[in-house]
Structures are given as C-alpha cells and as structure tokens.
Amino acid sequence: MRIGVIGSGNIGAAAARLFAAAGHDVALANSRGPESLAGLVDEIGDRARADTVEGAASFGELVLVAIPFHAYTDLPGAQLTGKIVVDAGNYYPARDGQHPALDADETTISELLAEQLPGARVVKAFNTLYWEHLRDRAGDGIALFLAGDDQHAKDRVAALIADIGFAPVDVGSLAEGGRKLQPGAPLSGVQLTEAEARAQV
C-alpha cells in the first residue's frame, strides 16, 4: 500500500518505520519541508521518501495524520478527498489552545477533522499508545484501538494495524468510540492484550 504520513514527530516517525518494515511505501511530510526529513528517510530505507504535505497527501492511498490538533485546519483537503485519513492526534489545551466545543464534550477532534475534510473517510487510531510502545511492542499482540464511521475504511486500517504487528480493536464510531480514546479516557495510554482490550470495550 502507498501510505502518506503527515507529521514526523514521535508517533509519525515510529509509524512510518513500522509501515516500511511491513513492506509499504511511505511518503513522509512535515511543516518544515522535505529537506528536514533526510535523516529519517535515510534511516527508514528505500521504501520511504520525503515530500511536501500536499505531496504526501496525494501519494497515499491511506494517509496518517500525526500533527498537533491546532494545525488540523491546515491540512490539504483537495488532496485528501477520497482517501482514508487516520487521525492519530490528541487535544491538549495547554499546547493547542482552548476549544470550547471540545472542552464541553460536544464533539471529538476526529469529528472536527471529518468536518474539515468532508471528502475523506476519517478513522481514529494510533493515538492511545505511547510512541515508545508503538516502536517497541510490535509483534507482542498489544491492542491498538480504532474508531470510525465508515466500515470499509475501518477494515483497511485494521488490516494495516495487524500487518505491523498489533491487534486491531474496534471501539465504535468517531463520536462514541473517539471519546473512549481521548487523553484521560480509560483506553488512553494502556498496553493491553487483545483479549484484555475486548473485555474493556
């Protein structure tokens, strides 16, 4: 699969390494430009390339977005139309600024992202494991949660999660499931086996 990764911080970089190791082709992008990614791309190897944000969005059949929540309105909607967009973000008011609708629990960041990208199919995933666990626990049967409103998109993301050595566990819709995966929620930051995870959801 061709995968775009927008965001080269800890989560984006760890996921890109896993995707490439599983045989997928990856285009990485960040806000600082392709030149800043030379070292990471060299480390990952031949299946990775550096690109602009628009280029990575166009390249990917599936696009992982691992950026601070406050930057979500900067995503290139035209290039993401028709794509599966995996939202790995979390809302941290101290970093992102206060967002009244989120503070009042009227919505989730993935629902806001889906509104921002009406032509994309948004799936929430990759936001509950600490990046060190994402990097180190592949192949250990650890659960990686996902939520979304499009079943086909969730099936594709679940297959990718399994492909990189984690156990996909579906927790429902962007609204209901997304709330279960927010910082401070019971499923955030935990390392569970698939059986333990399914017992909790």
Res. 201: pLDDT tops 90: no
- What mean pLDDT do residues 33-59 have? 97
Q: What is the pLDDT of residues 128-185, one digit of tens each?
A: 999 999 999 999 999 999 999 999 999 999 999 999 999 999 999 999 999 999 999 9
DSSP string, 7-46: --SHHHHHHHHHHHHTT-EEEEE-TT-GGGGHHHHHHH-T
Percentage of the chain modeled with pLDDT above 90 = 99
pLDDT tens digit sequence for 95-141: 999 999 999 999 999 999 999 999 999 999 999 999 999 999 999 99
Q: Where are the beta strands (DSSP E) in the chain?
A: 2-6, 25-29, 48-50, 62-65, 84-87, 121-125, 143-148, 167-170
Question: Domain coordinates of the chain in residue numbers?
Answer: 2-200
Q: Is residue 200 predicted with pLDDT exceeding 90? A: no
Integer Cα distance of 75 and 53 in angstroms: 8
What gap in Å lies between CA 23 and CA 13, rounded to an integer?
Answer: 16
The strand pair at 143-148 and 121-125 is best described as antiparallel
Q: How confident is the model at residue 44 (pLDDT cuts 50, 70, 90)?
A: very high
Structurally, at CATH architecture level, domain 2-200 sits in 3-Layer(aba) Sandwich (3.40)
Whole-model pTM: value is 0.96
Q: CA nearest 69: which of 37, 40, 98?
A: 98
